[in-house]
A and B are shown apart, each in its own frame.
Chain A
């Protein structure tokens, strides 16, 4: 193959010839050709030390002619017969070469895998029935596929520390550890907090933190995700639920504008855990602990489950049904001029919800519209300064140019009696937007919808139970301008409804149009009203999202990964 022809290299995998770019790792070439190479230590986002030996394959190269001998004749495709090397090679750290041959299904490869499995299992405890990793354990899976049904090991297993408290969110079982060092490399290379290491290397190799130090980094739970066995488990999730009982839903994290792609694990409308889902344009393979653990309020006692109406005595709320609550709201709202009505929506709402909110604003001719901004310190990894997941959506769809800019005007308007009615959607104005209960008390009418009981709801005339992020579908635009799908994972408790349903019903009660039966219908209508959405279908967005608008925001962790990839340190 001539050099100027291309950067593609021909490789024979299990008898078939394939072409891959120069520099492709053997393991990736096999994967692309449709052959899985079992592995533990290799991870495309981390350096490859090649220490687990599970990815050993049989490898061959073009024969080297002896002095005086002619090189072999290439066939019509330019390939020469491969001379197979009697020694196996690791597929994870080696790159492909021209006319290379790889066998992932040969007798030698199978023998290597069986041998490696036998050694890994020699000291591994047989505690799968009480191990959280069971069901998603590479050691279990490869043991079935490549292991031997019986152990020949008759000696005492090596004893190592168990149930070690190495940090606030992670627990370590050293006997289960197969020393792949993924966690150590993650903490060294990605989290820049190299607290993990191996001590007593040899037959007693022990994963540990330094005495007096702990694994407390906000990205520590990623080590449990990449641990191929049950050595590192999440304190939050351990012993809560067997993984095979849970439903997996692909959705996105809504704790900040990055919108980390996640898989939500739920059973019977309860979320048990959230783990990151790979998206090389958003969160790579990672997510912060603080975001993934922010799920326990979803099934808390504080959830609002029924529409509430303020009693005639004006003090307490009573449980009502949707029809009554919406009817009362519509009746009350009809008494006000548009200029006396303010609508405060949320940048935590989906584009679809914001679209229908815009229609409500139009219907009411409301004089004031805003969303509540949330700003925090960016962490330089994945957490964005903007802690709202859909600020770009609020700007683009609802048309709020500068989120939060008119909140003070609304407060003043209420204080001066110019604003008499307020609709607050998916926000808690007292705790999150600096409204005082006294200020809200001056309103003639306050309608609020929120997932949790809160001081704003206490001051409200009508309280509507709203669905949270995990209980609704829709789309959001993240900080970098990427359009991503939020998928419904569980049903909300009691009579909760998604915000688009609430707003649709309110518009209908006010005498407006109807005919919307799903969030996807609203998405289809987005294209008519917002030019950026023109021609985009809901299905087209897929699991990984699509770039929608240009912003000047970048994700620092991705930039650093791109650098490491350019240096050839990682596959990426």
Chain B
């Protein structure tokens, strides 16, 4: 099972968490986000179910990840059983089920970058940000630093094969990254 936390905290635990079945935490979607969601749904007049992916994107954009209450919220919104939303959430590695850090780093590991040293870059980024990737597995691709500032994962091709290794920090793109300390230093 993929880990899932119901706590909207910044510190996702790297070890497997047991899914919790009851939610005392209140989960609230701000009115502006809900308005965007409602607008997205109007794009699919035949079947609300088709809006599941765009709605997930809206919520992930706001919350940073899709928590269990978020899955339930989407299901209610689209008049689906929650399992039908969870199916989609668990399919895409890009949809996170646990909270990332304040800055989320994606390191390309596709062939050109791998040959240019992306694995070494991953190691030095983790060392600098004190991230422990030992808990990373098929179901849990993200590791978060203990202070919650950085999280990291491998990504597939970021479309700059001539200038590897490349990585993304949130939406900022970096090419031919050599010094992890210098890169992370830009983020306070």
Query: Contact at B2–A211, with CB atoms within 8 Å?
Result: no
Query: Contact at A199–B81, with CB atoms within 8 Å?
Result: no
Q: A161-B1, A197-B81, A197-B86 are in contact. List 5 more A-B contacts (CB 8 A).
A: A196-B83, A198-B87, A200-B138, A201-B87, A210-B81
Residues of B contacting A196 in the complex (Cβ-Cβ under 8 angstroms) = 83
For B45-89 the 0/1 string (1 means CB < 8 A from A) is 000000000000000000000001001000000001111101100
Query: Contact at B83–A200, with CB atoms within 8 Å?
Result: no
Residues of B contacting A209 in the complex (Cβ-Cβ under 8 angstroms) = 83
Q: Say yes or no: is A212 at the interface (Cβ < 8 Å to chain B).
A: yes
In angstroms, Cα B91 to Cα A204, docked, is: 10
Which one of B1, B2, B21, B138 contacts A212 once the chains associate, using CB atoms below 8 Å? B21
Q: Say yes or no: is B43 at the interface (Cβ < 8 Å to chain A).
A: no
Q: Which of B76-120 contact A (CB under 8 A)?
A: 80-84, 86-87, 90-91
Q: Which of B21-50 contact A (CB under 8 A)?
A: 21-22
In angstroms, Cα B87 to Cα A209, docked, is: 10
Query: Contact at B91–A210, with CB atoms within 8 Å?
Result: no
Size of the chain A interface, CB-CB below 8 angstroms: 18
DSSP class of A's interface residues: helix, strand, loop or mixed?
loop
Q: Which of A208-257 contact B (CB under 8 A)?
A: 208-213
Residues of B contacting A208 in the complex (Cβ-Cβ under 8 angstroms) = 83
Known: A204-B139, A212-B21. A194 touches B91 (CB 8 A): no
Residue of B nearest to A211 (CB): B19
Which one of B68, B80, B90 contacts A199 once the chains associate, using CB atoms below 8 Å? B90
In angstroms, Cα B125 to Cα A191, docked, is: 51
In angstroms, Cα B69 to Cα A210, docked, is: 12
Query: Contact at A210–B90, with CB atoms within 8 Å?
Result: no
**22 A-B residue pairs with CB within 8 Å:** A194-B83, A194-B84, A197-B83, A199-B2, A199-B87, A200-B91, A200-B138, A201-B90, A202-B91, A204-B138, A206-B1, A208-B83, A210-B71, A210-B82, A210-B86, A211-B19, A211-B20, A211-B21, A211-B68, A213-B81, A213-B82, A213-B83
Query: Contact at A197–B84, with CB atoms within 8 Å?
Result: yes
In angstroms, Cα B1 to Cα A210, docked, is: 11
Residues of B contacting A198 in the complex (Cβ-Cβ under 8 angstroms) = 87
Q: Say yes or no: is A195 at the interface (Cβ < 8 Å to chain B).
A: yes
In angstroms, Cα B83 to Cα A278, docked, is: 30
Q: How many A-B Cβ pairs are below 8 Å?
A: 49
Residues of B contacting A204 in the complex (Cβ-Cβ under 8 angstroms) = 138-139
Closest beta carbon of chain A to B74's beta carbon, Å? 12
A residues near B, CB below 8 A?
Answer: 161, 194-202, 204, 206, 208-213
B residues near A, CB below 8 A?
Answer: 1-2, 4, 19-22, 68, 71, 80-84, 86-87, 90-91, 138-139
Query: Contact at A197–B87, with CB atoms within 8 Å?
Result: yes
Residues of A contacting B71 in the complex (Cβ-Cβ under 8 angstroms) = 210
Residues of A contacting B82 in the complex (Cβ-Cβ under 8 angstroms) = 210, 213
Residue of A nearest to B82 (CB): A210
Residue of B nearest to A199 (CB): B90
Query: Contact at A210–B83, with CB atoms within 8 Å?
Result: yes
Query: Contact at B2–A200, with CB atoms within 8 Å?
Result: yes
Residues of A contacting B4 in the complex (Cβ-Cβ under 8 angstroms) = 211
Residue of A nearest to B89 (CB): A199
Residues of A contacting B2 in the complex (Cβ-Cβ under 8 angstroms) = 199-200
Closest beta carbon of chain A to B27's beta carbon, Å? 14
Closest beta carbon of chain A to B137's beta carbon, Å? 10
Residues of A contacting B21 in the complex (Cβ-Cβ under 8 angstroms) = 211-212
In angstroms, Cα B4 to Cα A367, docked, is: 72
In angstroms, Cα B90 to Cα A190, docked, is: 26
Residue of A nearest to B4 (CB): A211
Which one of B68, B81, B91 contacts A195 once the chains associate, using CB atoms below 8 Å? B81
In angstroms, Cα B134 to Cα A547, docked, is: 68
Closest beta carbon of chain A to B79's beta carbon, Å? 11
Residues of A contacting B68 in the complex (Cβ-Cβ under 8 angstroms) = 211
Known: A211-B19, A211-B68, A212-B21. A199 touches B86 (CB 8 A): yes
In angstroms, Cα B16 to Cα A161, docked, is: 14
Closest beta carbon of chain B to A41's beta carbon, Å? 17
In angstroms, Cα B138 to Cα A106, docked, is: 40
Query: Contact at A200–B81, with CB atoms within 8 Å?
Result: no
Query: Contact at A200–B90, with CB atoms within 8 Å?
Result: yes
Residues of B contacting A211 in the complex (Cβ-Cβ under 8 angstroms) = 4, 19-21, 68
Closest beta carbon of chain B to A209's beta carbon, Å? 6
Known: A161-B1, A211-B19. A200 touches B84 (CB 8 A): no
Closest beta carbon of chain B to A167's beta carbon, Å? 13
Closest beta carbon of chain B to A463's beta carbon, Å? 50
Which one of B1, B19, B20, B81 contacts A194 once the chains associate, using CB atoms below 8 Å? B81
Residues of B contacting A210 in the complex (Cβ-Cβ under 8 angstroms) = 71, 81-83, 86
Residues of B contacting A212 in the complex (Cβ-Cβ under 8 angstroms) = 21-22
Closest beta carbon of chain B to A349's beta carbon, Å? 43
Residue of B nearest to A194 (CB): B81
Most buried by A among B4, B71, B86: B86
Query: Contact at B22–A195, with CB atoms within 8 Å?
Result: no
Residues of A contacting B87 in the complex (Cβ-Cβ under 8 angstroms) = 197-199, 201
Residue of B nearest to A208 (CB): B83
Residues of A contacting B22 in the complex (Cβ-Cβ under 8 angstroms) = 212
Residues of A contacting B86 in the complex (Cβ-Cβ under 8 angstroms) = 197, 199, 210
In angstroms, Cα B80 to Cα A202, docked, is: 22
Residues of A contacting B91 in the complex (Cβ-Cβ under 8 angstroms) = 199-202
Closest beta carbon of chain A to B43's beta carbon, Å? 23
Most buried by A among B21, B83, B86: B83
Closest beta carbon of chain A to B84's beta carbon, Å? 6
In angstroms, Cα B68 to Cα A209, docked, is: 14
Residue of B nearest to A161 (CB): B1
